[in-house]
């Protein structure tokens, strides 16, 4: 099966598509997208790039838009005029989201394998001192179903924030440029510096998270094609309230 194996985490009006890396790529990439493929790219990178663009095309179709999504100078996907969006790929999955710019300033999306081990060293790089208070406390708890989950949440949420803000702000936010707090069912970020005119320091962003499960889809698929994922996502309103 192609598409829709992970339900959209976004509200209506945001196009979302998800594909397995191993799905057949029937997508005929336009020249603007093919131009981004580097000669040095290994087969795996070519495939994830093309699957990402196939997912982007599906997400655009879902909001009645179309057009190539070339790669910008800073690696960012360049969505068609009047559209914002985000792309992610991990182990076996790619996903894309797109929405009209009239509604949203930016979209963020990130997928990580849920069971990936993360070393405590990472928390020193990724977390602010205040985040480390709760992240390191979580890292110290033994025997958890999802060890190091808080650190993975912070890491993934910051990737999503980066993807949602960069195209608007043209500012490469660093890991300490947003500080996160864990709420009951989402994360709340406070920007520590300006990210473009509409997102001054002190702006608050809500980042959702989910744990999609991907089961094997055929007898032959094998365990490496299934698994648990962590997905973070955010949609920044065009006029933040
Ligand atoms: C750019 C970055 C976010 C990509 O994330 P990743 O987890 O490595 O990889 P993912 O598969 O999830 O995402 C890759 C996609 O991100 C998108 N991307 C890359 N650079 C981007 C940018 N400057 N702006 C928006 N999206 C970008 C691309 O679509 C890319 O896929 P493609 O090359 O096939 O088009 C990451 O490499 C990075 O630089 N992280 C550090 C920045 C950060 O997190 N700062 C903290 C902010 S609070």
More confident residue, 217 or 121: 121
- Residue 211's closest CA among 59, 55, 11, 9? 9
Nearest atom (ligand 1) to Cα of 175 = 46
What contacts 33, CB < 8 A, 6 or more positions away? 50, 53, 68, 69, 70, 71
Which of 21, 34, 76 gets mutated to test ligand 1 (max ligand atoms within 8 A of its CB)? 76
Partners of 88 in the β-ladder: 95
Enumerate residues lining ligand 1, CB below 6 A.
49, 52, 71, 74-77, 87-89, 110, 158-159, 161-163, 166-167, 173-175, 177-178
Average pLDDT, the chain: 90
Answer yes or no: is pLDDT of 226 > 70.
no
Q: What's residue 219's pLDDT? A: 41
In angstroms, what is the span from residue 110 Cα to ligand 1's centroid? 9
Q: What's residue 156's pLDDT? A: 97
Residue identifier of the C-alpha nearest atom 46 of ligand 1: 175
**How many residues appear in the chain?**
241
Answer yes or no: is pLDDT of 6 > 50.
yes
Tens digits of per-residue pLDDT, 42-84? 999 999 999 999 999 999 999 999 999 999 999 999 999 999 9
**166 pLDDT band (50/70/90 cuts)?**
very high
Interior angle at CA 8, CA 217 and CA 12, nearest 5 = 150
Looking at residues 183-192, what average pLDDT do you find? 96
Whole-angstrom distance, CA of residue 78 vs CA of residue 30: 13
Q: What's residue 239's pLDDT? A: 72
In angstroms, what is the span from residue 218 Cα to ligand 1's centroid? 31
For 207, the token pair is 């980042």
Answer yes or no: is pLDDT of 99 > 50.
yes
Answer yes or no: is pLDDT of 222 > 80.
no
Q: Where are the alpha helices (DSSP H) in 37-108?
A: 43-62
More confident residue, 107 or 218: 107
In angstroms, what is the span from residue 219 Cα to ligand 1's centroid? 34
Is residue 85 within 8 Å of residue 107, measured between CB atoms? yes
Q: What's residue 216's pLDDT? A: 59
Answer yes or no: is pLDDT of 220 > 70.
no
Least confident of 28-32, 139-143, 156-160, 216-220: 216-220
143: number of Cβ within 10 Å: 5
Greatest Cα pair distance in the chain: 52
More confident residue, 147 or 225: 147
241 CB-contact burial (10 Å; exposed 0-12 / middle 13-18 / buried 19+): exposed
Q: What's residue 223's pLDDT? A: 43
- Residue 177's closest CA among 151, 139, 203? 203
In angstroms, what is the span from residue 148 Cα to ligand 1's centroid? 22
Looking at residues 8-37, what average pLDDT do you find? 93
């Amino acid at each position: 099966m192609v598409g829709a194996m992970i339900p959209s985490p976004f509200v209506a009006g945001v196009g979302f598509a998800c594909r397995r890396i191993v799905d057949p790529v029937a997508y005929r990439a336009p020249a603007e997208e093919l131009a981004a493929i580097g000669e040095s790219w290994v087969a795996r990178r070519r495939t994830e790039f093309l699957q990402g663009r196939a997912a982007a095309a599906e997400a655009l179709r879902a909001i009645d838009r179309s057009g190539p999504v070339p790669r910008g100078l800073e690696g960012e996907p360049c969505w068609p005029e009047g559209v914002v969006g985000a792309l992610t790929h991990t182990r076996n999955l790619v996903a894309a989201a797109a929405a009209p710019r009239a509604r949203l300033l930016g979209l963020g999306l990130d997928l990580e394998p849920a069971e990936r081990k993360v070393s405590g060293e990472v928390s020193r790089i990724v977390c602010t001192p205040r985040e480390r208070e709760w992240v390191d406390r979580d890292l110290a708890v033994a025997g958890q179903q999802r060890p190091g989950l808080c650190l993975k949440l912070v890491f993934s949420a910051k990737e999503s924030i980066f993807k949602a803000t960069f195209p608007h702000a043209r500012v490469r936010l660093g890991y300490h440029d947003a500080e996160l707090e864990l709420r009951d069912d989402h994360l709340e970020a406070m920007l520590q510096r300006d990210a473009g005119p509409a997102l001054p320091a002190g702006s608050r962003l809500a980042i959702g998270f989910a744990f999609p499960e991907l089961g094997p889809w055929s007898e032959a698929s094998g365990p490496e094609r299934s698994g648990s994922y962590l997905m973070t996502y955010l949609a920044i309103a065009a006029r933040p309230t």
